[in-house]
Amino acid sequence: MPVLESEFQGPLWKALNKAGRGTRVWRQNAGRWEAVTRTRGGRYRRWRGQLLTYWVHGAPAGAADLTGVARPEGWRLEVETKGEKTEERAAQDRWRDFIERDGGIYVRLRYDASLTMKENVARGVEKVDAAIGRRRRER
């Protein structure tokens, strides 16, 4: 069974946040989700303390799965994770271009089925570190 991007994200997130590293990342949900419930009169209301109508706004469509900072510079760091068969989307390319154009660091990592999870995570950390190193040399 193919490894999903969510299965890859967790171990990668832990590795990038390991003590002593110059990276801090967190999960970033993209897009908007809404649930709408109205009374017959068209009003929104709570029922026994439960909010029946609510909106959840996430990052823009295409935003990377993990976001954070590269320290000590404080540069924006975006890491898009892909499972073995997860499709890449044009919105993700646009987000990458936006982040890089404004001086941030963007890395897209695809899980490689020929490697173990541990090896994939190590490879991912290496790629993030290499991208940060390239950005430092560009200064």
11 prior amide bond cis, ω within 30: no
Task: State how far the Cα of 111 lies from the Cα of 117, in Å rounded to an integer.
Answer: 8
**pLDDT tier, 60 (very low <50, low <70, confident <90, very high otherwise):** confident
Q: Please state the rounded mean pLDDT for residues 84-98.
A: 93
How is the beta sheet containing 66-70 ordered, strand by strand? 23-27, 66-70, 75-82, 105-110
For 1, 72, 129, the CA distances from 26, given in Å and listed in that order, are 27, 17, 17
pLDDT at 36 exceeding the cut of 90 = no
- Does the structure show a pLDDT above 70 at 85? yes
| Banded pLDDT at 59 (limits 50, 70, 90) | confident
The domain limits of the chain are 5-28+63-138, 31-61
According to CATH, what is the number of the domain 5-28+63-138? 3.40.1350.10
pTM given for the model: 0.81
Structure confidence by residue, pLDDT tens digits, 104-120: 999 999 999 999 999 99
